Amino acid sequence: MRPIRPRARRSAAAETIGEDSRLRLGIRGGVVLNIMKEELPEERKSRFGAFRPGALAAGALLLTLT
């Protein structure tokens, strides 16, 4: 019979509730803002009416997957 080993302890930072989630949220938000800045056309060439349905559909898809 194998002996049961104790589980490794997590660091104090990892035990803080939500710290890892906040870090991931910050990184994801930065990625989204960077993509919007680089990929969307200039203000005079943009069509927000075409962007809005795509952004809402992508957001709904992400919400259903998580």
> What pLDDT digit, counting tens, does each position of 35-66 carry?
888 887 676 666 778 888 988 999 998 888 86
10 lies in a domain? no
CB 40 within 8 A of CB 51: yes
What's the whole-model pTM score?
0.38
64 lies in a domain? no
54 lies in a domain? no
What is the residue range of 20's domain? 16-42
8 lies in a domain? no
22 lies in a domain? yes
Q: What is the pLDDT confidence band of residue 16, given thresholds at 50, 70 and 90?
A: low
23 lies in a domain? yes
DSSP state of 17: T
Q: How many domains does the chain fold into?
A: 1
